[in-house]
Structure 1
Amino acid sequence: MNKNESKYFKSAEKMHTALLTLLDSKDFELISVKEICENAGVNRSTFYLHYDNVNDLLQETVEAVYKDFFGRFGAEGPGALDIDEKNEDELFLVTPKYLMPYLDFVEENRKLFYLMYEKNEMMGAEKTYETWFKTIFGPILTRFGVPQKEQPLIMVFYLKGIIGVVTEWVRGGCSESKDEIISVIQKCIIKP
């Protein structure tokens, strides 16, 4: 990477951080380009070199945050699963091993998570879910013998259910422990 590319990416990183910082104290709709630039220590011209508007910055920030999220799993993360090499117990992803990093991520990024949930169409969340389905969940469901025709419906149930529980947790200020939330999710999915 040359010096100009490095400078470009550092400016983008600063603006991601500025947006996340501002989201801690105010609603997204009230955040201006001027505030982002002041908080990031960059000029407006630098902002517009990178983005057309604050929504573009938000989308790129979400992508960066997702990358950080998946990095938390390390080599054993869901994106790195070698489905053919795992036994069925290891492919059951509603365990503390997989849910705890997700809940840590959500708790650290409450406002961003909530914004992503509220504006999932604008944020491209459906595309992300499609990718997860194709690369992770679809092959796992196939391995468990779930017919192809049923797989999208099962995924909607899992995703909407888990996201619904987590969203309520965020709305309540993350007052329940993560272990309690994992227990609730498991009770909804696993037979008692």
Structure 2
Amino acid sequence: MPTNKKRKTDRRTIYTITIIKDSFLKLVKKEGYRKVTITQICKEAELTRSTFYLHFNSITDVLNEVLDDALMLDQDSDNCTNGDFSIDYLKKNESLIPACQRIGNSEKYQKLLMDPDLSEYIIGRIMAHERKQTIPSIMKKTGLSQKEAETIFIYMIHGSFAVNRAHHFIKDDSWFRDVQLLNKFVEAGYEKLAK
């Protein structure tokens, strides 16, 4: 009798997928996304093209999986604080502003996030990842309609990405001060809209 259980991925498959993604990131860091080819990834990973195609259909598929990995880094973090915007609090708990601040924490992804050919694509992926949890949260905090909350959401994601990009996704004291300022701005906006 057939079952609908998903097959467990074996260690070799996990290793191969990981080496492909790591090779991709290494090449993006060295060459930039636009110049990376499947041939280069295979050479860097010491794999054949047929092995690459067993796991991915294109470089875009690799990019999507790498971005999904990066976005999953913050899966358990809470987008809300209790109004504590101190630098020490933010160093432990990150930001009210969505994922682009949190995924930049990993040096592994910083060069990818800085690639000018990918900015809008990455923003789109972040928006898709954050939309379901952030828009209802904005609506709840402000009393705005879904359409209005969507406008605030778009503004927050693009603004957050731009500020993080200006800091090269490096979380130093200057970055924490800017995040502290942005969080206060966002919370004040929520409070004003809720009145």
* TM-score (norm. length: structure 1): 0.71
Question: 1:55 — aligned with what?
Answer: 60
Measure, in 2, the Cα distance between the counterparts of 1:154 and 1:4. 40
Which of the numbers 84, 89, 92 marks the counterpart of 2:83? 89
> Relative to structure 2, which stretch is displaced further, 2-11 or 58-67?
2-11
Residues in 2 aligned to 1:3 and 1:60: alpha-carbon distance in whole angstroms: 18
Which residue of structure 2 aligns with residue 98 of structure 1? 94
Name the one with the larger helix percent: 1
Are the equivalent residues in 2 in contact too, given 1:88–1:144 (CA < 8 A)?
Answer: no
Two-structure CA RMSD over aligned residues (Å): 3.3
Q: Deviations over 1:27-69 (max 9, x none)?
A: 12222222211221211110122222222222222222222x2
8 A Cα contact 2:33 2:117, kept in partner:
no
Q: How does 1:2-41 map to 2 (within 5 A)?
A: 5-41=10-46
Instruction: Measure how far apart 1:101 and its partner are.
Output: 4.4
> Which residues of structure 1 form unaligned runs of 5+?
none
Q: Quick check: 18-27 or 50-59, which moved more?
A: 50-59
Alignment partners' CA distance in 1, 2:102 and 2:183? 19
The CA distance in 2 between the partners of 1:162 and 1:134, in whole Å, is 18
State the partner residue of 2:114: 114
Q: CA deviation at 1:16?
A: 0.4
Secondary structure, aligned partner of 1:70: coil
Secondary structure of the residue aligned to 1:144 is helix
Instruction: Spell out, residue by residue over 1:62-108, the C-alpha distance to the aligned partner (whole angstroms, 9 max, x if none).
Output: 222222x225xxx5x13xx7x8xxx8537xxx944214744423x44
**CA–CA distance in 2 between the matches of 1:50 and 1:101?**
28
1:187 paired with 2:185, answer no
1:168 aligned onto 2:169: no
Q: 1:32 to 1:66 in 2, by over 3 A?
A: same
Return the letter of the residue paired with 2:113: F
Which residue of structure 2 lines up, in the alignment, with residue 134 of structure 1? 132
The sequence identity of aligned pairs, in percent, is 17
CA deviation string 1:164-186 (max 9, x = no partner): 1111221xx84xx6221121233
The residue number in structure 1 matching 2:150 is 152
Deviations, residues 129-174 of structure 1 (Å, cap 9, x unaligned): 1441222x2232233233124211211222111111111221xx84
CA contact (8 A) 2:28 2:111 kept: yes
Q: Residue 160 of structure 1 aligns to which amino acid in structure 2?
A: H
- What is the alpha-carbon distance in structure 1 between the residues aligned to residue 15 and residue 166 of structure 2? 35
Q: Is the 8 A contact 1:103 1:178 kept in 2?
A: no
TM superposition score normalised by structure 2: 0.70
Question: Secondary structure in 2 aligned to 1:65?
Answer: helix
